[in-house]
Structure 1
Amino acid sequence: MSAHSVEHGDEPIIERPERAISALRQALARVAPSKLPLMESERDEVLTLAAATQSVGPVNGFLLRWAMVVEIERHPATARRLHEAERLVRAASDEESMRSAARTAADIKAAARRAVGE
């Protein structure tokens, strides 16, 4: 199976949410509740930065990042593959294993980015 697509049989456990803070927060609460504190902390930082710079760029980046996280986490097998690849990147004892795992993680994230429309 290509790392560029969702695995066959890896049906989403929730519908893809709108790209809005409240919708993404609600979706994250269902698919990866342990990540909520990080999302909320980042949200506060991003909103402060957006106000200070008078730019919506930081907010758009935040929404894209968390839309991608939800996209991955709503597909359990894909999420497991990403988490395993990230673990292997940290634990790899040789450069080739580390690079292979990093490519897998990057491919999964790129597919999620395409899926959410960015």
Structure 2
Amino acid sequence: MSTQADHGHELIPRPEQAPDALRAALAIVDPGRLEEMQAMKDEAFAKAVEWQSLSPVRSWVLIWARDIEIARRPDLSSRHARAKGNLEHEDPAIAKEALKELSALLDEAMRAVRE
């Protein structure tokens, strides 16, 4: 587990960006997504072989590091749930604001895991 800036209460420390560490972290913060993670991992590794490039694997690592960052931090997790819940709001202004908020928090989580 790596060190990180203090974002208030965090459910677990930020995991290392390695498949086993990410899987272990996801098993704690969002175990319902483990099958999805494995399916995406299998796809990323298959593409890596096909493309003869590690970029699909690196993308997989970053996607899951970002999603775990959101799940392990209640501040981001609650913002994420609220934004996703309003994406299809009947008021277009609320839906637009939700999309803007979702984009901002995904960017924030990605910046955090790239520190």
- TM over 0.5: same fold? yes
Matches within 5 A, 1:1-118: 10-90=8-88, 92-117=89-114
What is the deviation of 1:77?
Answer: 3.3
Q: Which has the higher contact order (CA 8 A, sep 6+)?
A: 1
In 1, Cα distance between equivalents of 2:26 and 2:58: 17
What is the deviation of 1:29?
Answer: 0.4
Give 3-state SS (helix, strand or coil) of 1:15's partner: coil
Gap runs ≥5 in structure 1: 1-5
* Runs of 4+ residues deviating >6 angstroms: none
Q: Which moved more, 1:61-70 or 1:93-102?
A: 93-102
Give 3-state SS (helix, strand or coil) of 1:37's partner: helix
Aligned CA RMSD, in angstroms, stands at 1.6
Gap runs ≥5 in structure 2: none
In 2, Cα distance between equivalents of 1:74 and 1:93: 30
Identity %: 35
Normalization by structure 1: what TM-score?
A: 0.87
Match of 1:3 in 2: none
Equivalent AA in structure 2 for residue 67 of structure 1: A
